[in-house]
């Protein structure tokens, strides 16, 4: 039961029987304001685009929101968009999982072995500096144009951001903390499991969030080069037919899929990092 003093206190406000911190209330108001501004910006851009299409600039080049919605609906009804979305999601998730697994494992391994990391550093930096898109023909030559090639190329794009972040996270562990747990009798495995991995988790999830769009980019680019299905193939076909509305429809779905992947990684990261 809320007392009179609590009701009159400016520092605490009752919300449905719970006293809410003013800082939390202010943060919620800020979040609502940001959401409203984001929606207003989207409505403004789409409105200007719709008005300007065919009036200020030719809709042949940029289509219009209404035409894009019509094209998206037509592609959904005839099944093209659903099939393309399923193919791209399968490749993106498979490549993401493969690249993340190798990136985290190698990042921890080299983080625990600084000499090996120094030996491999110039080779990894050189490979990272290569324009990965230029490697698609090589992947096609090695693996053909099937599912394996697209997954391998996607995994390559995902690997480096996660690897770099994991390596930085492991290297950032306080050496004094390691000395303390060793004095307490901890084995090397205990140090890895109890100190290195937990300390690097925030870095790992930062790398996962960076890599989520790369997984989608890798899948779409690979499909544009060597596939007869997927969002990348749909984009390529629409462009070759000068179907601007269809092309933008595929791009819209790709963008929404990227936002969804990012949101999933953020939610999982918040759940697993609650202890921090």
Q: Which secondary structure element, helix H or strand E, spans residue 120, and what is its range?
A: helix 114-129
Residue 98 confidence (pLDDT) = 94
Q: Which secondary structure element, helix H or strand E, spans residue 18, and what is its range?
A: strand 18-20
pLDDT digits (tens, 9 = 90+) for 212-232: 889 999 999 988 887 778 898
Residue 175 confidence (pLDDT) = 66
- Domains of the chain are 4-52 (no CATH), 65-272 (1.10.3720.10)
Judged against a pLDDT cut of 50, whether residue 1 lies above it is answered with no
DSSP state of 167: H
Judged against a pLDDT cut of 90, whether residue 147 lies above it is answered with no
**Which one is predicted more confidently, 32 or 181?**
32
Q: 79's torsion region: left (phi>0), alpha (psi -120 to 50) or beta? A: left
For residues 224 and 232, the answer to whether their CB atoms sit within 8 Å is yes
């Amino acid at each position: 039961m809320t007392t009179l003093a609590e009701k009159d206190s400016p520092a605490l406000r009752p919300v449905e029987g719970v006293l809410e911190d003013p800082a939390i209330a202010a943060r919620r108001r800020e979040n609502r304001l940001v959401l409203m501004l984001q929606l207003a910006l989207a409505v403004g851009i789409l409105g200007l685009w719709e008005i300007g299409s065919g009036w200020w600039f030719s809709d042949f080049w940029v289509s219009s929101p209404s035409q894009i919605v019509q094209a998206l609906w037509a592609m959904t009804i005839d099944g093209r968009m659903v099939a393309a979305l399923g193919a791209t999601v399968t490749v993106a998730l498979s490549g993401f999982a493969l690249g993340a697994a190798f990136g985290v494992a190698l990042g921890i391994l080299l983080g625990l072995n600084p000499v090996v990391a120094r030996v491999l550093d110039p080779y990894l930096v050189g490979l990272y500096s290569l324009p990965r898109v230029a490697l698609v023909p090589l992947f096609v030559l090695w693996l053909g144009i099937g599912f394996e090639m697209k997954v391998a190329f996607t995994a390559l794009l995902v690997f480096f951001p996660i690897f770099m972040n994991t390596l930085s996270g492991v290297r950032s562990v306080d050496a004094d903390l390691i000395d303390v747990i060793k004095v307490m009798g901890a084995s090397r495995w205990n140090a890895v499991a109890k100190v290195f991995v937990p300390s690097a988790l925030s870095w790992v999830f930062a790398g996962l969030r960076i890599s989520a769009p790369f997984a989608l980019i890798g899948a779409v680019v690979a499909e544009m080069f060597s596939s007869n299905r997927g969002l990348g193939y749909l984009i390529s076909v629409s462009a070759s037919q000068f179907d601007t509305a269809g092309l933008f429809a595929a791009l819209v779905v790709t963008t929404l899929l990227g936002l969804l992947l990012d949101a999933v990684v953020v939610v999982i990261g918040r759940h697993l990092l609650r202890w921090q």
